[in-house]
């Protein structure tokens, strides 16, 4: 999987979840068994949605960049951030803070840990992927 494809997938996932949490935070969170909302938690959920849209915009802006050093730095940071998010999602499920749907979130972040990590492999000995 090449850099632009991962950026596209990340942007699409970010837009879908970002719009859901921005426009209907209680309904989006209810899928995960999260309740007990007040005005403050709704604002935080909407900020989360806005941040996902912000991340999507960054990924769409970067997708066509062919600078291999920039792609590597992006992949390093994105794989690290995805690993942290995956740990948070796993903690949520294992602690009972979210229901079984929380596993889907952990799986999505695990996918991105692997996809961004794939971009960090040694290109001198591995398969070369053309970036257009």
What is the DSSP track for the chain?
--HHHHHHHHHHHHHHHHHHHHH-HHHHHHTTT-----HHHHHHHHHHHHHHHHHHHHHHHHTT---HHHHHHHHHHHHHHHHHHHHHHHHHHHTTSS-TTHHHHHHHHHHHHHHHHHTTS-TTTS------
Q: What is the pTM of this model?
A: 0.86
Which are the contacts of 56, defined by CB distance < 8 A and separation ≥ 6? Answer: 10, 11, 12, 14, 15, 18
**pLDDT value of position 123:** 62
Query: What is the predicted pLDDT for the residue at 128?
Result: 55
* Residue 130 confidence class, pLDDT cut points 50, 70, 90: low
Q: How many residues are given for the chain?
A: 132
66-75, 112-121, 122-131: segment of lowest average pLDDT = 122-131
What residues contact residue 54 under an 8 Å CB cut-off, 6+ apart? Answer: none
CB atoms closer than 10 angstroms to residue 59: 22
Contact partners, residue 130, CB within 8 Å, separation at least 6: 2
């Amino acid at each position: 999987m090449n850099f632009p494809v991962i950026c596209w997938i990340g942007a699409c996932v970010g837009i879908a979840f970002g719009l859901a949490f921005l426009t209907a935070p209680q309904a989006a969170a209810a899928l995960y068994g999260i309740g007990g909302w007040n005005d403050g938690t709704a604002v935080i959920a909407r900020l989360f949605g806005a941040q996902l849209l912000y991340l999507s915009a960054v990924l769409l802006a970067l997708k066509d960049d062919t600078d291999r050093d920039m792609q590597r730095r992006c992949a390093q940071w994105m794989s690290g951030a995805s690993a942290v998010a995956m740990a948070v999602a796993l903690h949520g499920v294992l602690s009972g803070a979210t229901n079984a749907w929380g596993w889907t979130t952990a799986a999505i972040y695990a996918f991105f840990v692997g996809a961004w990590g794939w971009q960090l492999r040694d290109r001198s000995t591995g398969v070369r992927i053309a970036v257009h």
